[in-house]
Each structure stands twice: as structure tokens, then as C-alpha cells.
Amino acid sequence: MIWNTLKKAAGAALVATLFLGSSAFAEYPEKPITLVIPFGAGGSHDLNARIITSTIPSHLGQAMIVRLSPGASGQKGTQEVANSAADGYTLLFSHNYVDMLQQHVENLPYDPAKAFVPVARVNYAPIAVVVRGDSKYKTFGDLIDGAKANPGGVAMAHSGNWGALFVPAAQVMKETGAQFNLVPYKGGGPAMQALLSGDAEVTMGFPSVLGPLVQSGKVRVLATAGPDRIYDDVPTFNEAGIKGDIGFMHRVVLAPSGTPKDVLNKLESAFSALQEDKSFNRLMKRMGENTDLLLGDGYQKLRDDQSGAYKTLVDSITK
């Protein structure tokens, strides 16, 4: 009797293993997925990723774990993912400047265009040009004229060379012909503090973090990136004559090239499902971030354009 039961149980276990084994092969994901962030804790990517990873498991059927791997301006974490297996269990959460610009500035141990395919652009952040509330620059035109009249005399605080505030500043300088004195700070927070304390005349910032400072009149926004107005009374880059994919930080999830198509589809559908997820939308809204999703192929087109545009930009500055 007992023997029979045992034999049955063993048989069932064997069948189950075989069944699970074969189905696991077809059913991605069968174990938690690691999302590598090539930046430090507490940054906007970290915070965005905490929202994604706390809401996506219900659409993916598996946990997604954040692994922070900062170093070498994002290259350390990026290289780790470039070298990992293309099975969809290791993904990279990066942004366009690290992804497409760095290759034109220095020699990388990987080729970003060949090493990665985009899974989803989760959202994007348009940059805003800000001055102190009591600044003599009332409009974007005033600022550009002031910088042209005194080349290198207007201090612009940014968050590090070739970073999310530096590149838009460089792009604005290239498009308008103005020349700022670019002063680096350790992140967007210290750069904003430099503006408020008077060490800098102008800086860049994302509307998601500017809210209370704008409302209290401590800072004034002179222009925002993109074609659509973010603040009713503030002109856009397009209106100021700066056109194209300039001043946007795209937060994008990338997978190593060669990741199977059905795995990518599964991931894309999970990210699409987030669009309907109430917690995801509520938390993103509170952070002041949009949820403007762009799936793999759609973003790949932007990526190709970025590479060319950044090459021209880097050449115009360094040569």
C-alpha cells in the first residue's frame, strides 16, 4: 500500500519535472529578472526602477530585481549587461546619453548599437532652462543675448560632463551660438543649489523636480524642451528655434542583442500592461514623470537618429 503510494508519488514527481522542464523552456520567465542600473542609488533611474519593479511582477508572473552597478560614467553596468547571456534574464535600464553619446567621446569596451536592442522606453523627461527668480534674464532671448555679449561669462551649473544636463546645454550652445561657462556639480541637486546660492546664473532641471521651486518663485523657467508647452507661459525649444530630439532624457530598458523574439514580445507586453496599471500610473504621476511608452522598434528609430546627432555635436565641441 505504502509502496504503491510512493511509486505513484515518484511517478507524479517525474512527470511534473518533465512537464515543468519542457514548459519552462517555452514559458519565459521562469525565474526572477535582473534589471541592472548603471547609476548610483537615489537617482531618477533608481526611483523610476523602484516603481517599475514594484508593479511589473503582476504582469510578468515573476519578480524583477534592481541591481545598481555604478561606475565609469555608466559604462561598468552597461558592460556587465553587454557581456551577459541574451536570455532576457538580465536587462539594462539606461538613458540615451549613456547609450548613444558616450561611444563618440571615448573608447568603449562594447559597441552599444550592436550589443543592445531596445525593449521599451518607459518614459522621457524634457529639460527646462532655469534661472533664479530675481535674475536679470527675463526671457530665453535675454539669456542667449547675455551669453553672446559676454562669452564664457555666464556660469551654467550642470551635473557632470556629457550628462543629462550637460548635453542639452551643449546642444543649446551649438544651435544658438551662445557660449556659457559650464561648471560641473555632483548631480542635479547640487547644481540647483549652486543656482540658488548665486554661484551659477543658469542651470537645467527636469520639471518633475522643479515644481515647488517654481511655485514659490525661487526659480524662473525660461524654456522647456520639445514641441509642446509644459508651463502655459513658458516657450518651448521649438518656439525658440531649437528643433529636433534635443533636451530629452529617454529612460529606456535594453536587452542584449540576440535575445529571442518571443522573450522580447513577452517583456514588451508586460511593459504595455503597465500603462493600465493603477499603482504604476499613480506613483509615476506623483513623481512628476510621464508614462509615454515607446516599444522596441519605435525607439530603435530614435536611437539611430541620436547616434548621428550626438556625433555631430561631439565633433563640433571637441574639434
Partner 1 sequence: MFEQLAEGALLAFRLDTILMIVIGLFSGMLVGALPGFTTLMAMAILLPLSFFLDPLVGIPFLLGVYKGGIFGGSIPAILVSMPGTGAAVATSIDGYKLTQKGESRKALDVALFSSVIGDTFSDIFTILMIFPIAFLVMQFGPPELFAVLLMSLVIIVATSRSNPLKGLVMMLFGLWLSQVGTDPIGGVERFTFGLFELKSGIPLLPMLIGVFALPELFYAVMRNEKVGGFAKLVGERLSKAEFKRCIPTIRRSTLIGTAIGIVPGLGQVVAAMMGYSAAKNASTHPETFGEGEIEGVAAAEAANNAVNGPTLVPLLTLGIPGDNVTAILLGAFVAQGLRPGPQLFEEQGTVVFGILIAMVIANLMFVVIGYLSIPLFSRIVTIKTGLLVPIVIMFAFAGAYVFRSDTTDILILVVFGVFGLLARAAKFDVMPMVMGFILGSALEYSFGQTVAMAGPSPLSFLFTERLGMLALLIATPIVGYLLWRRMKTAAP
For partner 1, the binding residues in 42-81 under the rule CB under 8 A are: 42-43, 46-47, 50-51, 53-54, 66-73, 75-76, 79
Which of these, 82, 139, 150, lies nearest to 116 by C-alpha position? Answer: 82
Q: Examine residue 199 and tell whether it contacts partner 1 (CB under 8 A).
A: yes
CB 314 to partner 1: min, Å:
12
Q: Which residue of 11, 21, 61, 152 would you call a contact of partner 1, by CB under 8 A?
A: 152
From 31, 138, 286, 301, residue interacting with partner 1 (rule: CB under 8 A): 286
The radius of gyration of the chain's CA atoms, rounded to the nearest angstrom, is 23
97/79 Cα distance (integer angstroms): 15
Q: State the nearest-atom distance from the C-beta of 292 to partner 1, in Å.
A: 19
The footprint of partner 1 on this chain (CB under 8 A) covers a number of residues equal to 56
Query: Could you say whether residue 133 binds partner 1 (CB under 8 A)?
Result: no
Q: How far is the CB of 104 from partner 1 (least distance, A)?
A: 13
Q: How would you class 32 by CB atoms within 10 Å of its CB: exposed for 0-12, middle for 13-18, buried for 19 or more?
A: middle
- Please report how close the Cβ of residue 106 comes to partner 1 at its closest, in angstroms: 7
Place of cell 523657467: 221
Q: Considering the complex, state which of residue 67 and residue 174 has its C-beta at the smaller distance from partner 1.
A: 67
**Burial category of 276 from C-beta neighbours within 10 Å (exposed 0-12, middle 13-18, buried 19 and up):** exposed
- Pick out residues in 246-275 that bind partner 1 (CB under 8 A): none
Taking the complex as a whole, the smallest distance from the CB of residue 154 to partner 1 amounts, in Å, to 10
| Identified binder of partner 1 from the candidate list 2, 26, 114, 216, rule CB under 8 A | 216
C-alpha to C-alpha distance for 239 and 3, rounded to whole angstroms: 82
The yes or no reply on residue 197 touching partner 1 (CB under 8 A) is yes
- Residue entry with cell 524662473: 220
Residue ranges binding partner 1 (CB under 8 A) = 40-43, 46-47, 50-51, 53-54, 66-73, 75-76, 79, 105-106, 109, 152-153, 155, 160-162, 181-187, 189-190, 192-194, 196-197, 199, 209, 211-213, 215-216, 218, 283, 286-288
